[in-house]
Amino acid sequence: MSPRVAAVILAAGASTRMGRNKLLLPVDGEAMVHRAARRALAAGLSPVVVVLGHEGDRVRAALGDLGVAFSTSPDPTGPTSASLHAGLRALGPEVTATVVMLSDMVHVTEAMLRAIVESSAHGAAPLEVSRYGDVLAPPLLFTRALWPELLSWHGEGCGKAVVRAHRAEAGLHDWPEQALRDIDTPDDYAGLTP
């Protein structure tokens, strides 16, 4: 059976530093969360699960034209782990790995996602990690073997403790440091090049 790689897109946060729901703000003519989900689908990830929380109905509506699935974080104002756990639990037994993404990392491309998936398919590493200079960050690919560790982890970041524990075994993907920039504040958003 060929590997089936899903995506879990974390989209539950309240965007408190932005002052409004940043995931619905347009980037190059489409809502930020739509851009992330569209790129995941274009990279061949299936299913794509978007984890909802703050203004979940509005985020769901913004994704209405895409064939994505949804899960809801039980604690959208709590640590990231609650959203990640909700996303993992929404995946069926046919999924062999998942790519964890953040909706506000608008510089993550379809090509980056494809490279991570292809590397996992041709190697034996239990995870694939994006590196921006010295910073390890999403997108991250976790094979199913690591899901029990992810589900027992609680805290901020996208499974940071699990990434640290398995870094020596990980496939590393170096991307431009610029691609790490996420959108948290009005100044971040204003600084996006049109």
Beta bridge partners of 175: 132
Helices (H), 90-185: 110-122, 147-152, 160-165
* 59-61-66 Cα angle (round to 5): 95
What CATH architecture does domain 5-190 belong to? Answer: Alpha-Beta Complex (3.90)
Q: Encoding tokens for residue 152?
A: 């027992």
Q: How far apart are CA 155 and CA 161, in angstroms?
A: 9
Q: How far apart are CA 44 and CA 5, in angstroms?
A: 8
Looking at residue 2, what is its pLDDT? 64
Looking at residue 194, what is its pLDDT? 46
C-alpha torsion angle, residues 80, 25, 16, 77 (rounded to 10):
-30
Give me the residue spans of the domains in the chain.
Answer: 5-190
The DSSP letter of residue 126 is S
Looking at residue 17, what is its pLDDT? 78
Q: How far apart are CA 79 and CA 157, in angstroms?
A: 8
Q: How far is CA 158 from CA 29, 61, 140, 147, in A?
A: 28, 25, 8, 12
Low-confidence ranges of the chain (pLDDT < 70): 1-2, 193-194
Q: What tens digit of pLDDT does each residue of 88-142 get?
A: 999 999 999 999 999 999 999 999 999 999 999 998 999 999 999 999 999 999 9
Q: How far apart are CA 72 and CA 4, in angstroms?
A: 22
pTM: 0.94
